[in-house]
Amino acid sequence: MNNKICKFLFFAVLAASVVTLSGCKSRKPSADMYGSDNMYGDPLLGDVPLNADNMGLPMDGDRSMFEPVMFPYDSSQVNPEEAGKVEAVAKYLNKGKGQGVIVEGHGDERGSREYNLALGERRALAIRDYLISLGVDASVIQTKSLGEELPASTGHDEGAWRQNRRGVFAIY
Amino acid sequence: MRRFFLMGCAALVSMSVLAQRVEVRKSGEGKIAINLASYRTGSDTASRTFLSVLKADLNRSGYFTVTSAGAELNVAGSCVSSGSRLTADCQVYKVSNRQRLLGKSYKPDTPDPRWLAHRVADDIVYAVTGKKGMASGKVAVVSNRTGRKELYVCDMDGKNIRQITKDRSIVVGPGWTPDAKNIVYTSYKRGYPNVYLTGRSKPLSSHGGLNASGAVSPDGKSLALILSRDGNPELYIKSLRTGFLKRMTKTRRGNEASPCWSPDGNHIAYVSDTSGSPQVYIIPGNGGRSQRLTSSGTENVAPDWGKNGYIVFSSRVGGRYRIAMANPSAKTLRVLETDWADYEDPSWAPDGRHIVCSRTASYRSSIYLLDTLKDSPVALLSGSVDWYSPACSP
């Protein structure tokens, strides 16, 4: 339980100082970072630039190696109970196994398609931020939002939607 | 009574545009009866198709009722098909005083009777009402009819469907260039979501992360789009000449989506969820502060800014999506009366009167034409596959 809270607090602050934080887990979150303006499950994302161009980057990878990270409705916050899935990927990449990862962000079918594209990207970027904070080199993490275009379940109920709000790791 | 109902609708959407005035619909306004009984065609398929498409276009325009008796206007002329050519002439007279409102001959390069009928219909609408018609416009739309999500184009009557992309990938969010010749869209054909222009194989934008929701400015020089290259999805403007990128928003806690340009190109309306739910905002194209157009308590997405000055968008009211239109300068709001289905992704038709949007019922999405004045909705594209994200040519 304590451990979970620690992870949660840690994630809330990591975005503020993605670069300086790597490896340092003990920093306390500041009040405004963890304050009431973060009431909708949208973390403050880091501003580590992405690769300049995606042409020529690996397009696909092995999705069977790691469990997808699940998200609440209209949220791009990696919840504490999902954080271990990201840490497993960081551990794998930090050991020098695999060249990199494509983090694929997905949403459920509710809401506009274009908005869901942006939301899917934020989910992928939230996972990317966490990976960077765990020491993974930013240049080997690609993000790809699929919005609501590739659902894991084609159902139309809460059970299906829950399965579809996810971040998938494709290892290359 | 009606006024109270409309005010109720407005209260439900509760736009933040204060001191708004609710527009009361003009109802029961008569249409102009128009008679084409004396219009001559050959016995060939082409010229007969011409006449039936012309009649359907006039009925769909919202301004006319095609009748065979008691008309206010008479249409005379003929359509002749000879070999690979189709020619027509058309005169429109007022029955009361024989005043001629239109007299025109057509010798098009194409023998396509639909193409010609759409143009004649728009000429008649303009000659009689002084308003731009919509019949010769086109609709870009996405469908899964091949099993993949490809881009299609059809006429404003939902006919003449052509598949534009064969990417065998995913197409999202098409929109036209201001010259109505090309379409900007997002595709995953090279793995990542990039912004493409029809007829150009190299992407317009392929930064790391998200490249989406491309919208070309009215002067054709700039592209508004959503990029995540700096670590978060934000609104940018890219110069199509120099490639120079200008970042318009900095919302590290929020998403931006769906930009569209004001008719004069000075402002951009877009969606942002910085307030906690997706809402429509307006930002000056040269930078500066963005202003919220719609308010909380619901969801307001997918704006399209018409040449008539109205921003039409999809508004979530009572758990379902409806079509709403707001005039940002006059501060008016209206929610269109629709049935229980979800109506999304509205796009102004070229006539500035009709709206094309998707209608989703029982998880099946089709394309509908809505009239902002009085006509009932018309299905343009429907069936056993999904049609969605329509965009009308300007």
Which domain-ending residue is among B129, B159, B183? Answer: B129
User: Do B382 and B341 reside in the same domain of the chain?
Assistant: yes
Residue B18 lies in a domain: no
Lowest mean pLDDT among A32-46, B10-24, B360-374: B10-24
User: Do B218 and B367 reside in the same domain of the chain?
Assistant: yes
Contact B231 A59 (CB under 8 A): no
Which pLDDT score is estimated for B166?
95
> Token digits for B295?
């308010």
User: Do B227 and B334 reside in the same domain of the chain?
Assistant: yes
Which pLDDT score is estimated for B296?
52
Determine the residue of chain A that is closest to B213 in CA distance: A114
Contact assessment for residue B348 and residue B304, using Cβ atoms and an 8 Å cutoff: yes
B195 touches chain A (CB under 8 A): no
Q: Which residues pair with A147 in a beta bridge?
A: A106
User: Do B222 and B83 reside in the same domain of the chain?
Assistant: no
Residue B3 lies in a domain: no
Which pLDDT score is estimated for A3?
52
For residue range B221-231, what is the model confidence (pLDDT) as tens digits? 999 999 999 99
Work out the minimum CA distance from A37 to partner chain B, whole angstroms.
9
Contact A45 B252 (CB under 8 A): yes
Contact B276 A43 (CB under 8 A): no
| Best CA proximity match to A130, nearest among A170, A54, A76, A172 | A76
Question: Which residues have C-beta within 8 Å of that of residue B287, sequence separation ≥ 6?
Answer: B246, B248
CB contacts of A119 in chain B (<8 Å) are 255
Residue B1 lies in a domain: no
Domain extent for B321: 137-392
Mean predicted confidence (pLDDT) in B178-193: 96
User: Do B95 and B174 reside in the same domain of the chain?
Assistant: no
A16 touches chain B (CB under 8 A): no
| Out of A37, A52, A121, closest to residue B228 by CB | A121
Question: Which residues have C-beta within 8 Å of that of residue A2, sequence separation ≥ 6?
Answer: none
Residue B11 lies in a domain: no
Residues with pLDDT less than 70, chain A:
1-41
First-last CA distance in chain A? 34
Residue B182 CA: distances (Å) to CA of A87, A141, B216, B376: 45, 34, 10, 31
Mean predicted confidence (pLDDT) in B175-179: 97
Domain count, chain B: 2
CB contacts of A118 in chain B (<8 Å) are 210, 212, 226, 233, 255-257
A15 touches chain B (CB under 8 A): yes
Which pLDDT score is estimated for A51?
87
B347 touches chain A (CB under 8 A): no
Would the pLDDT of B369 be above 80? yes
For chain B, give the mean pLDDT.
91
Which pLDDT score is estimated for B84?
87
Which pLDDT score is estimated for B20?
34
| Out of B172, B206, B254, closest to residue A42 by CB | B254
User: Do B189 and B70 reside in the same domain of the chain?
Assistant: no
A54 touches chain B (CB under 8 A): yes
User: Do B121 and B193 reside in the same domain of the chain?
Assistant: no
User: Do B246 and B354 reside in the same domain of the chain?
Assistant: yes
Which domain-ending residue is among B107, B129, B151? Answer: B129
Dihedral in degrees, nearest 10, Cα atoms B314, B316, B320, B321: 0
Instruction: For residues B319 and B264, give the distance between their C-alpha atoms in angstroms, rounded to a whole number.
Output: 34
Mean predicted confidence (pLDDT) in B353-368: 96
Residue B182 lies in a domain: yes
Q: How confident is the model at residue B82 (pLDDT cuts 50, 70, 90)?
A: confident
Would the pLDDT of B336 be above 90? yes
Contact A54 B389 (CB under 8 A): no
**CATH code of the domain in which B185 resides:** 2.120.10.30
User: Do B191 and B336 reside in the same domain of the chain?
Assistant: yes
Which pLDDT score is estimated for B287?
83
Instruction: For residues A147 and A153, give the distance between their C-alpha atoms in angstroms, rounded to a whole number.
Output: 14
Higher pLDDT, B59 or A29: B59
Which pLDDT score is estimated for B24?
35
Mean predicted confidence (pLDDT) in B258-274: 96
B228 touches chain A (CB under 8 A): yes
Which pLDDT score is estimated for B29?
54
Which 298-327 residues of chain B touch chain A by CB within 8 A?
A: 299, 301-302, 314
Mean predicted confidence (pLDDT) in B346-366: 97
Which pLDDT score is estimated for B130?
96
Residue B237 lies in a domain: yes
Q: How confident is the model at residue B315 (pLDDT cuts 50, 70, 90)?
A: very high
A142 touches chain B (CB under 8 A): yes
User: Do B263 and B388 reside in the same domain of the chain?
Assistant: yes
Q: Which CATH architecture has domain A2-171?
A: 2-Layer Sandwich (3.30)
Boundaries of every domain in chain A: 2-171
Mean predicted confidence (pLDDT) in B179-191: 96
Residue B26 lies in a domain: no
> Token digits for B39?
């219009």
For residue range B107-152, what is the model confidence (pLDDT) as tens digits? 999 999 999 999 999 999 999 999 999 999 999 999 999 999 999 9
Residue B36 CA: distances (Å) to CA of A141, A155, B102: 65, 50, 14
Residue B186 lies in a domain: yes
